[in-house]
Amino acid sequence: MVIVLGTTFATGAVLVLALYLLVRRLVATGGCLPVTPEWIGELSAERYQPMLRLLDSEDIRFLRSQPGYSRRIEARLRAQRSVIFTGYLRSLSTDFGRVCMALRVLMVQSRYDRPDLASVLVTSEARFAASMIFIWMRLFLYRYGFCSVNARPLVEIFDSMRLELRSLVPVTAGAAV
C-alpha cells in the first residue's frame, strides 16, 4: 500500500513538474519574432532528424555487448545524450512557437476569416504540448534506463505546421511577419 501511494505521489509530482516547465517554456517564447520569408525557407524538419536517432536503444545494446562495459558508462552515455536531446527539444519548441506565432499574425492580418486555420492551430498546439509533456516524462525515465523516447510525432506536428506556414507565405511574402 505504501509503495502504491509513493509511486502515485512520485508520478503526480513528475507530471506537475513537467506541466510547469512546459507552460513556462511556452509562455516565455522570447520577445523577438524573427520570422522572415528567408527564415521560413530555411526552416526544415530535417534539422531534427539526428534527434530521432539520438536515444536509439540499439546504441545501448551495442554498448552492453562491448568488453569493458559497466553500468556507470551506460549511465554517463544516457546522461550525455539526454542533455543533447534536451537542446533539440528546446530548439524544436522555439521553432514551433515561432511558426504558430507567424500563423497567428497572418490570420490577424488576413482580409478573410480563417476558422479552419484557427482550428488547426489550436489543435496542433494542444497536441504539441501534450506530446512535449509525454516526451519530457519519458526522457526522465530514459535517463535512468527505464524506457525509450520517440520524438517522431512531435517532429511531425511541427512539420505539418511549418508546411501550413509555407503554403501561406508566398501569398503574403511582401508583408513583414
At 22 the pLDDT is 57
In this structure, how many other beta carbons lie within 10 angstroms of the beta carbon of residue 153? 14
Identity of the residue numbered 146: F
| Cell numbers that stand for 114 in this block | 480563417
CA torsion through residues 67, 72, 78, 83, sign: negative
At 176 the pLDDT is 44
At 72 the pLDDT is 93
| Cell numbers that stand for 128 in this block | 504539441
Instruction: Spell out the long-range contacts of 81-84 with Cβ–Cβ below 8 A and sequence spacing 24 or more.
Output: 81/54, 81/55, 82/55, 82/139, 82/142, 82/143, 84/54
Using CA atoms, how far apart are residues 42 and 22, in angstroms rounded to an integer?
A: 26
* pLDDT confidence tier of residue 168, bands split at 50, 70 and 90: confident
At 15 the pLDDT is 63
Asked if 151 contacts 135 with a C-beta cutoff of 8 angstroms, the reply is yes
The model scores a pTM over 0.95 = no
* pLDDT above 70 as % of the chain: 80
What are the domain boundaries of the chain? Answer: 2-172
| Cell numbers that stand for 94 in this block | 522555439
Select from 52, 39, 171, 20 the least CA-distant residue to 101. Answer: 39
Using CA atoms, how far apart are residues 85 and 94, in angstroms rounded to an integer?
A: 14
